Structure 1
Amino acid sequence: MAAISINVSTLKPLGDRVFVKVSESEEKTAGGILLPDSAKEKPQIGEVVAVGEGKRNDDGSRSAVDVKVGDKVLYSKYAGTDIKLSGDDYVLLSEKDILATVA
């Protein structure tokens, strides 16, 4: 089996899926205690790096995705598929798993 090289800039989600770069988790608590990797919570905020064309309606048309590349989003804690590319963490989400945009 040949190895496939995936580049983030060439990745195009299908349907209403959104590809998000996960924000870094907190390294230490508010009191200054350093957290080991096992104690860190999975971040729920990230930046949209790619969006699909939208969900296909019954009549064949598409409903556009409400977020765009560059938006910061808050998403459900256990949503999506975690992907690691070039040392960075990403998550591939369905649009319905995005809870809000962050200003």
Structure 2
Amino acid sequence: MTSLSGGVNGIGGMAGVDMRAGSLPIRLLHDRVLVEPREDSVDRRSKAGIVIPATAQMGKRLSWADVVAVGTAVRTIQIGDRVLFDPEDRAEVELHGSTYVLMRERDIHAVAAERLDDGLTGLYL
């Protein structure tokens, strides 16, 4: 049994994973989004190069993640998008030894838009 990987451009259709391609064996339902947290969201560095651990107390800080799967009712998020979310509001799931975060589409605060000239987002959150 195989399913499509997100329909057209990762939106609609049967959002899930084509198991023949060696991807994740999961099919998300409704407005669920599965993301892989970015490594640079864990620890931060100050301008002087000092590592600030993720456990340091600060104001509410959002994290970046890459979208790996979307549910059938997701309208604005596509597979491969880089999204901004609150790490406090998350449900972790482990698949094939990797940790992912499962959330609703409405819990995503922003989608990074790439610049035309250099491919960087220019976002400093």
Compute the TM-score of the two structures, normalised by the length of structure 1. 0.67
2:27 is the alignment partner of 1:12: yes
Compute the TM-score of the two structures, normalised by the length of structure 2. 0.57
Comparing 91-100 and 72-81, the one that deviates more: 72-81
- Does the aligned pair in 1 maintain the 2:33–2:67 contact within 8 Å? yes
Helix, strand or coil at the partner of 2:43: coil
Comparing 40-49 and 93-102, the one that deviates more: 40-49
Kindly indicate which of the two structures has a greater share of residues assigned to strand: 1
Alpha-carbon displacement from aligned partner over 1:29-54 (angstroms, at most 9, x marks no partner): 33212345644988611010000101
Where structure 2 has 5 or more consecutive residues not aligned to the other structure, the ranges are 1-21, 114-125
Alpha-carbon displacement from aligned partner over 1:14-68 (angstroms, at most 9, x marks no partner): 11000000011235333212345644988611010000101xxxxxxxxx43101
CA 1:100/1:19 → structure 2, altered by over 3 Å: closer, same or farther? Answer: same
1:66 maps to: 76
Comparing 39-48 and 90-99, the one that deviates more: 39-48
- Does the aligned pair in 2 maintain the 1:21–1:89 contact within 8 Å? yes
Larger RCO: 1 or 2 (CA < 8 Å, sep 6+): 1
Q: Aligned residue pairs: how many?
A: 88
Where structure 1 has 5 or more consecutive residues not aligned to the other structure, the ranges are 1-6, 55-63
Amino acid at match of 2:84: L
Percentage of pairs with the same residue: 33
- Does the aligned pair in 2 maintain the 1:8–1:85 contact within 8 Å? no
RMSD, aligned α-carbons: 2.7
2:38 is the alignment partner of 1:28: no
Following the alignment from structure 1 to structure 2, what is the Cα–Cα distance between the partners of residues 30 and 98?
A: 28
